[in-house]
Amino acid sequence: MIRIEHIEILYLLILIPFFIIIHYIYIKKKKEKLRGFIDKPLIDLIVPNLSYGKQWTKFILLNIAYLFIIIAIANPQIGTSVEKAERKGTDLMVCLDISNSMLAEDIKPNRISRAKQSLNHLIDQLKNDRLGIVVFAGSAYVQLPITNDYGAAKTFIDLIDPSMISNQGTAIGEALRKANESFGEKNTSKSRSIILISDGEDNEEEAIDIAEEIAKEGVVINTIGFGLPEGALIPISNKGKSNLEYKKDESGSYVITKLNEDILKNIASIGNGVYIRANNSSIGLDNILARINNMEKNEYEAVAYKDYESRFYIFAFIAMIILIIEFLVFEKKNKYINRKFFFGNK
């Protein structure tokens, strides 16, 4: 497939018809001016080497060169060839809590924004590892199937928002199960890890049982607690008002979301992983990634599309050749060329 990297540059080709019109007017006025001073029968005697044909030839060559220069600047590219290669890396699934409590601002700018920033940073450090994402609140679903396409992963992370799941809660157990299913066939010889990122609130008791089942399959579960023990208010939509509003309970009191570390510590312990409490200076993903990098790497077949390769130099070379030819074409008549190619016609 061929694509143009800077397709907007091609709009400059619209100028070519204007160049032709301007040149035509210029030649016409030049002829009229010359005939105003000299009678037509005397022109060949006074300026015998004058050739409007050669002037048009040089002009056409310049326009063709301009055409190829514009195409070169637009940078045509060729790509889409598929490459298959054996790679080694670990399989990593991230379970990210997107419940409304993750909007709390005790972790700046807020819990979920900081988590997304850290995940993007994590992706920058991955090498041949495969990554998938499960988002959850009152329910869970796979937002990004496991892949080695880091560009796509970042795009999906940017789209994450609490509004993606309407029913509130913290379905940790369901998120862990979906993450484990995303690894594909069960194989205890493969290096597989889950990173659970949550504030641990409103947890379901079944999360512990599910973590035990997953751990038996050789999957390591690491957890990161987002939030501070003292808690914070939960921002809600201010509906166009300038002042930020916060969630209240039925009695009208402000709801405070607090980090529940116990469930996250238990899951990490059962999953043979580590628990880290995030704070404003460090999230802890770097420490977890260091542990994952020490795990044995899996071999898998990676399918990737080859990057588009630029072909601008082909058109630049053609433009250069045309400019050289234009330079070698003289405006004056040449008897030999005139006889052969009729450049001398007025």
pLDDT at 44 (0 to 100): 57
3-state secondary structure of 169: coil
Q: What is the dihedral of CA 239, 240, 245, 246, to 10 degrees?
A: 40
Question: Residue 76: beta bridge partners?
Answer: 4
Residues near 280 by beta carbon (within 8 Å), at least 6 away in sequence: 107, 108
Cβ atoms 80, 1 nearer than 8 A: yes
What per-residue confidence (pLDDT) applies to 30?
76
* Terminal-to-terminal C-alpha distance of the chain: 46
Note the pLDDT of residue 345: 47
- Walk along the chain (346 residues) and give the pLDDT tens digit of each residue: 677 888 899 999 999 999 999 988 988 887 777 666 655 555 555 555 556 677 888 899 999 999 999 999 999 888 655 555 555 778 999 999 999 999 999 998 999 999 999 999 999 998 888 999 999 998 999 999 999 889 999 999 999 999 898 888 888 999 999 999 999 877 666 789 999 999 887 556 789 999 999 999 999 999 999 988 788 898 886 554 556 788 888 888 898 888 888 999 999 999 999 999 988 888 888 888 888 888 766 665 555 555 667 889 999 999 999 999 988 887 665 555 444 444 444 4
β-strand partners of 193: 92, 220
User: Hey, what long-range contacts does 114-118 have (CB within 8 A, 24 or more apart)?
Assistant: 114/226, 114/278, 114/283, 115/197, 115/226, 115/278, 115/283, 116/157, 116/158, 116/160, 118/283, 118/285
How far is it, in rounded angstroms, from Cα 64 to Cα 58?
Answer: 10
Domain 83-304 bears CATH identifier 3.40.50.720:
no
Parallel, antiparallel, or unpaired for β 256-257 and 82-89?
Answer: unpaired
Q: Chain centroid to CA 62: how far?
A: 38
Is 308 within 8 Å of 75 (Cβ atoms)?
Answer: no
The two tokens of residue 69 are 């220069």
Which of 215, 232, 231 has the alpha carbon at shortest distance from 223? 215
Structure tokens at 195: 């990173």
Task: Kindly state the tokens that stand for 120.
Answer: 């993007």
pLDDT at 299: 61
CA 344/CA 49 separation, integer angstroms: 8
- Token pair 């898998």 is found at 300
b/e per residue 170-189 (b: at least 16 CB within 10 A):
bbbbbbbbbbbebbeeeeee
Three-state DSSP at 314 gives helix
Tokens of 327: 């330079």
Q: Could you tell me whether strands 256-257 and 232-233 are parallel, antiparallel, or unpaired per DSSP bridges?
A: antiparallel
Query: Which residue ranges make up each domain of the chain?
Result: 2-79+309-341, 83-304
